[in-house]
């Protein structure tokens, strides 16, 4: 797994109502199990609490023998 002192590593699922804007796209289209890989900035009320840019990765996962995104 890729780690860096600049990018702390943690994982969480984004809610459906996530309000954000894409700052930078790291890939165009799906590449294997990675569907999207973007650098985002939150908008709306959450932007006050998290003013930094975040990495948003959408991937296909095999969990309990079911494919999830």
DSSP codes of every residue in 14-69: PPTT--EEEEEES-SS-BTTEEEEEEEEE-TTHHHH--SEEEEEEE-EEETTEEE-
* Bridge partner residues of 57 (DSSP): 37
63 pLDDT higher than 70: no
Q: What pLDDT does 17 receive? A: 83
- pLDDT tens-digit series, residues 15-61: 788 899 999 999 888 888 888 899 999 998 888 988 888 888 888 77
In the chain, domain spans: 15-46
Q: What pLDDT does 45 receive? A: 87
């Amino acid at each position: 797994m890729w780690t860096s002192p600049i990018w702390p590593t943690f994982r969480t699922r984004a809610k459906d109502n996530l309000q954000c804007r894409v700052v930078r796209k790291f890939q165009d289209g799906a590449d294997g199990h990675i569907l999207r890989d973007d650098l985002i900035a939150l908008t709306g009320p959450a932007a006050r609490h998290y003013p930094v840019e975040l990495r948003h990765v959408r991937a296909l996962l095999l969990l309990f023998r079911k494919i999830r995104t």
